[in-house]
A and B are shown apart, each in its own frame.
Chain A
């Protein structure tokens, strides 16, 4: 892998700029959030060249941004944020990715570590059985054609109407679990065919269900507002997305927008950046289809949360109110959203591409649900399965600098195959067990591919975001049990 030797100008300890002069065609500079040490790792691959490529997008404003978890992706870097003008800018499906609305959902419980550890094996088995996971897994819900359209327009609202969860869950979900502008007519039959049997499945790859324990509380008052009071309290984290439906929507539209790029004379350094003006028919169709896939993913996480609650009730022999398992929040980290920001003193309507980045709105923001309006939007940042996960809140700095965005996870440093070569599944499972973490995996290779050493250190990634002011750390948790797809 080639080392990236381009120019990086230090702004402060956590901000580095790639000047616009680096390459003709860049419309804005690049801005990377990292410290000096992490930057050395980032330079080992071509992710920064991808930050540069994104700066070519017509209508991009501010900076082509990269969070500290940045790594080399296909087209856009993972951990990238790009804001384009709605008026005369473009939307790019590659800036969202194939797993549209891949995201995380965090639930809190009234249970403590000792009680859960005593039944952990049973709990994981129950979760493994009741939440279909792995390659080729199919769901428990039979979805007809009409109902598929209801999922695509209703998202998590559809799931709650079907009896999977409560209105409170919706309030604690980004966009209320239902992105507006979804038009099932813009989603291909193929995408719906793929989505139909996979409704309510975890999938494979890096997707997981994780039972966690609160290890450290940085901001007790903020944590209390989110239902987290004590060290040792048990949490549940769900990480999944829009499955084959989202993959097909992305594939359909990358293909379509490759042609649109030619039609609108947009020249780009990577075909995977294919795009069309936001206001063009092609751009509008993509956004309508993307909203459908986003809603499918929210319905998916809503159903899975419901089944997880059933598992806890069964295993612990308590009622749901006794157990808790109320939602803390649910965020999307692969999505494009229409949001409004002040840029150079002017209010602009922008299309914010978050490709492996999390929305991080500050206290008082109208899109933060009333119950969190005072503290800011909860931000969920999962680590890999051997390390910590973080709960944070959004800040004013994020609004001013990063279009209300922050990092989404640890970020890979080692390819899946390199990870698989250096460790076996059994070795990874043994190592985790020695640290008190039980795992169950559906697919072969999924443990070694997701081993800690394949990722950056989440503690450092989150620290950089915290010190740069993009988010405020509230709670750190560690895993005790993982169900891997």
Chain B
């Protein structure tokens, strides 16, 4: 329930929806939106971390540079999200804000802001195993929307 409340709050604050959750029988997915592709990628990462924890209680103590390269733009989106899951596992950093500074066809540079994982404070939910290529979609409409299904 907290989860849905935080969605509504996002709506109210920005008047622009940052993401939607996709129900999938075994797993869960997101569609993230942005005025441009950088913003859509950043919102996809934000949406992913809302599935992992309560981001309200996460501070911005850590600033982390992230660079990702991939074969094409779709693969770049999956690789970007999986790079963040890798950092979460290995460095135990939970991110709550992202700035995608450079985004090409096959590479991305970004900064993530967050905090080292604190199990007592961060209201952790079930984890995500990975972002998958299933139903993957990057679409240009008014702005951009990107869709990713996760293996939970």
Assess the B21–A258 pair: CB atoms within 8 A: no
Please judge, given known A-B contacts A135-B124, A258-B75, whether A272 and B130 are in contact too, CB under 8 Å.
Answer: no
Stretch with Cβ within 8 A of A (4 or more), from B8-16, B34-42, B83-91, B107-115: B83-91
Assess the A424–B1 pair: CB atoms within 8 A: yes
Whether A417 sits at the interface, judged by CB under 8 Å, is yes
Assess the A97–B90 pair: CB atoms within 8 A: no
What is the CB-to-nearest-CB distance from B93 to chain A, in angstroms, rounded to a whole number? Answer: 10
Residue of B119, B132, B135 with highest tally of chain A CB at under 10 A:
B132
Assess the A415–B133 pair: CB atoms within 8 A: no
Please judge, given known A-B contacts A198-B89, A444-B123, whether A98 and B151 are in contact too, CB under 8 Å.
Answer: yes
Assess the A71–B26 pair: CB atoms within 8 A: yes
Whether B140 sits at the interface, judged by CB under 8 Å, is no
Please judge, given known A-B contacts A136-B88, A420-B3, whether A74 and B126 are in contact too, CB under 8 Å.
Answer: no
Assess the B126–A416 pair: CB atoms within 8 A: yes
Across-interface contacts of A99 in B (CB, < 8 A): 129, 151
Across-interface contacts of B152 in A (CB, < 8 A): 205, 416
Assess the B129–A272 pair: CB atoms within 8 A: no
With both beta carbons as reference points, the residue of chain B lying nearest to A74 in the complex is identified as B134
| Pick from A135, A418, A449: contact of B52, CB under 8 Å | A135
What is the CB-to-nearest-CB distance from A4 to chain B, in angstroms, rounded to a whole number? Answer: 13
Across-interface contacts of A193 in B (CB, < 8 A): 86, 89-90
Assess the B123–A272 pair: CB atoms within 8 A: no
CA distance A197 to B53 in the complex (A): 20
Which A residues from 193 to 227 make CB contacts under 8 A with B? 193-194, 197-198, 203-205
With both beta carbons as reference points, the residue of chain A lying nearest to B24 in the complex is identified as A415
Assess the B25–A413 pair: CB atoms within 8 A: yes
Stretch with Cβ within 8 A of B (4 or more), from A54-62, A246-254, A383-391, A467-475: A246-254
Across-interface contacts of A270 in B (CB, < 8 A): 133-134
Across-interface contacts of A372 in B (CB, < 8 A): none
With both beta carbons as reference points, the residue of chain B lying nearest to A136 in the complex is identified as B117
Which A residues from 41 to 93 make CB contacts under 8 A with B? 45, 47, 71-75, 78
Per-position binary interface string of chain B over residues 72-95, scored 1 when its CB falls under 8 Å from any chain A CB and 0 otherwise: 001100110010011011101000
| Pick from A204, A250, A255: contact of B126, CB under 8 Å | A204
Across-interface contacts of B149 in A (CB, < 8 A): 74
| Pick from A198, A205, A254: contact of B133, CB under 8 Å | A254
Per-position binary interface string of chain B over residues 16-31, scored 1 when its CB falls under 8 Å from any chain A CB and 0 otherwise: 0000010111111000
CA distance A449 to B25 in the complex (A): 11
Assess the B28–A417 pair: CB atoms within 8 A: yes
What is the CB-to-nearest-CB distance from A356 to chain B, in angstroms, rounded to a whole number? Answer: 9
Across-interface contacts of A244 in B (CB, < 8 A): 85-86, 89-90
What is the CB-to-nearest-CB distance from B74 to chain A, in angstroms, rounded to a whole number? Answer: 8
CA distance A97 to B79 in the complex (A): 17
Across-interface contacts of B136 in A (CB, < 8 A): 271
CA distance A73 to B152 in the complex (A): 10
CA distance A270 to B129 in the complex (A): 19
With both beta carbons as reference points, the residue of chain B lying nearest to A194 in the complex is identified as B89
Assess the B28–A415 pair: CB atoms within 8 A: yes
Which B residues from 48 to 73 make CB contacts under 8 A with A? 52-53, 70-71
Please judge, given known A-B contacts A135-B52, A193-B90, whether A98 and B129 are in contact too, CB under 8 Å.
Answer: yes
Assess the A272–B127 pair: CB atoms within 8 A: no
What is the CB-to-nearest-CB distance from B16 to chain A, in angstroms, rounded to a whole number? Answer: 22
Assess the A444–B85 pair: CB atoms within 8 A: no
Across-interface contacts of A443 in B (CB, < 8 A): 124-127
Please judge, given known A-B contacts A98-B151, A194-B86, A443-B125, whether A78 and B134 are in contact too, CB under 8 Å.
Answer: no
CA distance A274 to B71 in the complex (A): 14
Which A residues from 342 to 373 make CB contacts under 8 A with B? none
Across-interface contacts of A135 in B (CB, < 8 A): 52-53, 119, 124-127
Chain A positions near chain B (C-beta within 8 angstroms):
45, 47, 71-75, 78, 97-99, 134-136, 190, 193-194, 197-198, 203-205, 244, 247-248, 250-251, 254-255, 258-259, 270-272, 274, 412-418, 420-421, 424, 443-446, 449, 485
A74-B149, A248-B86 given; 19 more Cβ-contact pairs under 8 Å: A73-B134, A75-B134, A134-B119, A190-B86, A193-B89, A194-B86, A197-B90, A244-B89, A247-B85, A248-B82, A255-B70, A255-B79, A270-B133, A271-B133, A272-B132, A272-B134, A421-B1, A444-B123, A446-B125
CB-based closest 4 A-B pairs: A74-B134, A271-B133, A135-B127, A415-B23
Chain B positions near chain A (C-beta within 8 angstroms):
1, 3-4, 21, 23-28, 52-53, 70-71, 74-75, 78-79, 82, 85-86, 88-90, 92, 117, 119, 123-127, 129-130, 132-136, 149, 151-152
What are 14 inter-chain pairs, A to B, with CB distance below 8 A?
A: A72-B24, A75-B132, A134-B119, A136-B124, A136-B127, A190-B86, A205-B127, A251-B130, A255-B71, A258-B75, A270-B134, A272-B133, A415-B28, A443-B126
